[in-house]
A and B are shown apart, each in its own frame.
Chain A
Amino acid sequence: MQRRQRLKQSEKKKYQDKQVDVLEVLREHGAKIYRDLEDGQFPKFSIPSRSVSNIVYDKRLRQYILGSAATQRNSRNSSQLRSFTQLIWLAFFANRLTQEKKSSTLRDVYYSSQAFAVEFDDQSESDNIIVDLEAVTSKPREDFHIFPEERSSIFGDLDIEYTIPGYEGKKMNLSNHPDGYSIGPSLTTAELVDTSAEIVIAIEKGGLFTRFVEEQVDKKFKSIIINTGGQAPRSTRTLLKRLHDELSLPIIVLTDGDVYGEHIAMVIKSGSANAAHLRELTVPDAKWVGVWATDIEKYNLPTIPMTESDIKRCHDLKKDPRYESGIWKKELEVFLRIKRKAELEAFSKYGLTNITDKYLPPKLELAKSL
């Protein structure tokens, strides 16, 4: 079996450099503020504006990015002083986390602040500051070792080597446990050493993930299976990107046959407007293979009618430039026409293994040509 071993040294190097890079960026900001204080200048941050008017779609990058507008957060302004302090505190805190290789969650950050006399009214305030820091540094929060709560999971023949303290150098193969491995900080930061897989299948639902493991889709199709658990968390998207960039694995996405499923695939491919300030989270080459609206008719799947909010969502997405062409546009129009949707489980009508036996193979073939 051909192993994809350290196929792209340059990509791997890039990830290790990233950690150093984050610390460097934070140190630069700290030094700048230190100088300002010494010089009797009120320090300030320039934060790219995340207002709707400043979110634009970059066709070359194939994702949403922030425009050139920026807001100043100036410590001279008494109404910004508090949030300025929160921001520098967060940078300080992120610096410690990164140096000590400790991970933390959004909620952790909210509580940790209280040890430093920096108060947040509630978690949404601290979450906002975290996004501010992402915008200032153009780094996702995972780079600062701040992770979301939600976990998705991964299964397949992939050797990893941990880098987190206490596990450094320890290796693991991700096909040893049939329930899969949850994608947390240790996995996201681990080195991707070796794999026999030739493709990554990201699937929207946990139930189907289990089915795929049971049906040995990993072996049958030489694949790594990832459960996104609905909209893919950023750590999962980071991992997907690494699998693609470092191991040159193509990514395919399998979702429910509705407008939300279509968009889950789109976010993996080209990010969300919410994360327009970040550029490390997208896998522009990812492919959505189903369930398409056209599949509903083609496979005669049991359906449920679309709700009003489904239809409204269709119309909203039609205005999105990413949905202006190709399969994205076509499927969206079909959804609007048939006004019905089908879940992945709908294939069970034709037997529990129908989806893996009959539906998946042609789709994988198709993916090559997409």
Chain B
Amino acid sequence: MSIEKFNQISPSEFFYSNRDLAGFSNPTRSLYTAVREFVENALDACDQKGVLPDVHLKIQAVDPEKHDPKHYILTVSDNGPGVDSKHVPHAFGTVLYGSKFGLKQARGMFGLGATMAILYGQITTNKPVTVKSCTDGQTQDKFEILLDIQRNKPVILKHSTKPASKKGLSVSICLEGDYSKAGGKIRDYVYETSLITPYASITFDDPKGQKFHHPRFVKDIPKAPTIIRPHPHGIDVERIRRMIVESQFEIPSIDDAMIEKVRRELGLAKKNLGFESMMARVEKKWKTLTRQVRVVISIVSFLGMDLERLSKIKIEDIDVPNKKLFYWDFGDSQSKSVDIDPESSYYKQLTNTVQGEQLTTFLTKRFQRVGPATAVKFAEFAQLRPEKRMGTLSNQELVHLSDSLQKFDAFLAPDSSCLAPLGESPLEKGIKKFFNPDFAAVVQRPASAYSGFPFIVEMGIAYGGDIKSGGPHVYRYANRIPLLYDEGSDVVLKVVNETDWARYKVKGEPPFLIVSHICSTRIPYKTAGKENVADRPEIERELRLALQFLSRKLAAYMSKRGQAEMAKKRANLYAKYIPLIAEFCTELAGKKKKPDYSQILEQSAPEIEAPNAKEAEIETK
């Protein structure tokens, strides 16, 4: 008989052993992924605070003479809000620590990738991450941090401060990479990022001393997304369990501040009252008390203590089923308990707190798009009592609740205010600036949802100008991230490839491109590497509708262009042949002077006005 040994591993360890999942499979891919993670974090930080981003990316070889793969120093600086110095060690030295856990559109979900990059750098070079942060525009904190992989804890090697003039964050890691192979992708990434982030200024200094500068060409930052509650369709049992834990009215910790608050609300700031007289005063003032104070008073009512004594204990547990209240007495240094009397008028106050909200309250307060009427209707649908306390739900009931939430179809569609599409005008400006096309059109589809996650599809199409032939060239974005790898299996590619372009008068090796941007609180990536989007039918449908709309615009333009080209061709034909005819007939007729054929040429000038290439109207909607 063997004994299996179960070890809990830290998240750091988990990612250490599964780093392929996060895009750190080899030096080429890892360098690219690290660049992405830091640039995206910088842009996200700026977006959140409504700052027009200035992002500076720099990659230097530690020893330029060596051959790839070799060690590189990767530095990304931004002008964002910075990170509070007390959070820096945890933010950059712990896996799964971050500020992005709320439900809204952001490039990264949890700030996980950056830590992965740091972890990767540390594994390959054994060098710490250097973080410089300034949150107030006056002082800059500089940290050098290593990750303790087994314990998932930061180890601060150095910490210093110095005066600074600007807010912002700069993160620098040393990692093994292969720039000769990754360079192309990194440059593409920076280029494509600046297309979808026209309000950002991005500079890239590459290891060979080349500078790539993409200036900002839109001055307005898109409206920042709001953090919203989840939609009932986008939920599972585990998520509900976590929400219940979060929603349970916590027993307030009874510290000095709390006691001070109780005194204030009871008007006992100056004097001390005994237990009995205090409770009498409570009854008079009950209606004016805050909920937290009421909970404290309820506890006190069972303890039978005055406030003086209360400051010398710590509540350990409230055991509702056994009607016991456990507390730690600092005076005697031991755990004690008192009974809770169910007959007491304070009993309900206490148990409600512990057992959590009623089902309907839980639904209306914790979810988006659920009103009291819908909540009651849902309770009926799920055959649960509307006033059922969430804390009392059994495991089975939880599963049933989760299933019912999925099945109930009377919920309104998810709220899209948590999404931040780029907008038609900036997208159009970007396309025009980048490709100088003869024709461009953009469209933003109305918000839609898959599995309770809202999403919006934005798309642009452009033809001619600086665009290379051999199209359609597809630029894929998701939450303002360019997707460069694994395009073969992507849903956007699928939709584009299934289009019969000949139907839209696009033939041969046409110079045209498609820019697709999917915004969602959760992009259904096929892999953790965030490179291709899975073909959810709802998303595929929206992509298709957007593409069809734009293709029709393109077709209209193409037929105009075709006519203009024909007219131009014809005019050229006349310009070529009429002078020849004149020359030949002059000699034939035995004349010396050529006839004046200007009238003819005027008549043969193109009748259809060629659409002026650069002023081609950009139609939207």
A-B contact pairs, 5 of them (CB 8 A): A27-B588, A29-B585, A81-B573, A81-B577, A89-B580
Is the beta-carbon distance between B600 and A34 smaller than 8 angstroms?
A: no
Give the shortest distance, in Å, between A219 (CB) and chain B (any CB).
49
Is the beta-carbon distance between A88 and B581 smaller than 8 angstroms?
A: yes
Give the shortest distance, in Å, between B428 (CB) and chain A (any CB).
37
Tell me whether A38 and B587 are in contact in the complex, defined as CB-CB below 8 angstroms, given that A84-B581, A85-B580 are known contacts: no
Task: Tell whether B596 is near chain A: CB-to-CB under 8 Å.
Answer: yes
Point out the residues of chain A lying under 8 angstroms from B585, CB to CB: 29-31, 33-34, 37, 43, 88, 92
1/0 per residue, CB under 8 A from A, across B125-152: the answer is: 0000000000000000000000000000
Q: How far is the CA of A76 from the CA of B581 in the complex (A)?
A: 12
Give the shortest distance, in Å, between A42 (CB) and chain B (any CB).
6
Tell me whether A92 and B588 are in contact in the complex, defined as CB-CB below 8 angstroms, given that A42-B600, A84-B581, A117-B580 are known contacts: yes
Is the beta-carbon distance between A75 and B578 smaller than 8 angstroms?
A: yes
Task: Tell whether B590 is near chain A: CB-to-CB under 8 Å.
Answer: yes
Give the shortest distance, in Å, between B57 (CB) and chain A (any CB).
55
Q: How far is the CA of A91 from the CA of B585 in the complex (A)?
A: 9
Q: How far is the CA of A25 from the CA of B600 in the complex (A)?
A: 25
Is the beta-carbon distance between B570 and A92 smaller than 8 angstroms?
A: no
Nearest 8 interchain pairs by C-beta: A30-B588, A40-B599, A92-B584, A30-B589, A33-B585, A37-B595, A31-B589, A34-B589
Residue of B585, B591, B597 ringed by the most chain A CB atoms within 10 A? B585
Point out the residues of chain A lying under 8 angstroms from B587, CB to CB: 30, 92, 95-96
User: DSSP majority for the A interface?
Assistant: helix
User: DSSP majority for the B interface?
Assistant: helix
Closest residue of chain B to A89, judged by CB?
A: B584
Q: How far is the CA of A117 from the CA of B577 in the complex (A)?
A: 9
> CB < 8 Å: which of A27, A38, A91 contacts B595?
A38
1/0 per residue, CB under 8 A from B, across A53-96: the answer is: 00000000000000000000001101001101100110110011
Known: A31-B590, A75-B578. 5 other contacts (CB 8 A): A30-B587, A30-B588, A34-B588, A84-B577, A85-B581
Give the shortest distance, in Å, between B582 (CB) and chain A (any CB).
6
Is the beta-carbon distance between A27 and B584 smaller than 8 angstroms?
A: no
Q: How far is the CA of A78 from the CA of B566 in the complex (A)?
A: 10
Task: Tell whether A202 is near chain B: CB-to-CB under 8 Å.
Answer: no
Task: Tell whether B603 is near chain A: CB-to-CB under 8 Å.
Answer: yes
1/0 per residue, CB under 8 A from A, across B597-615: the answer is: 1011001100000000000
Size category, B interface: 20 to 34
Point out the residues of chain B lying under 8 angstroms from A78, CB to CB: 570, 573-574
Closest residue of chain B to A31, judged by CB?
A: B589
Task: Tell whether B586 is near chain A: CB-to-CB under 8 Å.
Answer: yes
1/0 per residue, CB under 8 A from B, across A241-254: the answer is: 00000000000000
CB within 8 Å of B: which residues of A?
26-27, 29-31, 33-35, 37-43, 75-76, 78, 81-82, 84-85, 88-89, 91-92, 95-96, 116-118
Q: How far is the CA of A139 from the CA of B119 in the complex (A)?
A: 94
Point out the residues of chain A lying under 8 angstroms from B597, CB to CB: 37-38
Residue of A35, A38, A118 ringed by the most chain B CB atoms within 10 A? A38
Point out the residues of chain B lying under 8 angstroms from A29, CB to CB: 585, 588
Point out the residues of chain B lying under 8 angstroms from A42, CB to CB: 600, 603
Point out the residues of chain B lying under 8 angstroms from A84, CB to CB: 577, 581
Point out the residues of chain B lying under 8 angstroms from A27, CB to CB: 588-590
Point out the residues of chain B lying under 8 angstroms from A43, CB to CB: 581, 585
Is the beta-carbon distance between A37 and B588 smaller than 8 angstroms?
A: no
Is the beta-carbon distance between A118 and B589 smaller than 8 angstroms?
A: no
Residue of A37, A75, A84, A91 ringed by the most chain B CB atoms within 10 A? A37
Is the beta-carbon distance between A40 and B577 smaller than 8 angstroms?
A: no
Q: How far is the CA of A262 from the CA of B85 in the complex (A)?
A: 112
Is the beta-carbon distance between B600 and A37 smaller than 8 angstroms?
A: yes
Point out the residues of chain B lying under 8 angstroms from A92, CB to CB: 584-585, 587-588
Closest residue of chain A to B597, judged by CB?
A: A37
Q: How far is the CA of A27 from the CA of B589 in the complex (A)?
A: 5
Is the beta-carbon distance between B577 and A33 smaller than 8 angstroms?
A: no
Q: How far is the CA of A93 from the CA of B583 in the complex (A)?
A: 12
Q: How far is the CA of A89 from the CA of B586 in the complex (A)?
A: 11
Point out the residues of chain B lying under 8 angstroms from A39, CB to CB: 599
> CB < 8 Å: which of A38, A85, A95, A96 contacts B577?
A85
Closest residue of chain B to A96, judged by CB?
A: B587
Point out the residues of chain A lying under 8 angstroms from B584, CB to CB: 30, 85, 88-89, 91-92, 116
Give the shortest distance, in Å, between A331 (CB) and chain B (any CB).
48
Is the beta-carbon distance between A34 and B586 smaller than 8 angstroms?
A: yes
Point out the residues of chain A lying under 8 angstroms from B599, CB to CB: 39-40
Q: How far is the CA of A23 from the CA of B161 in the complex (A)?
A: 103
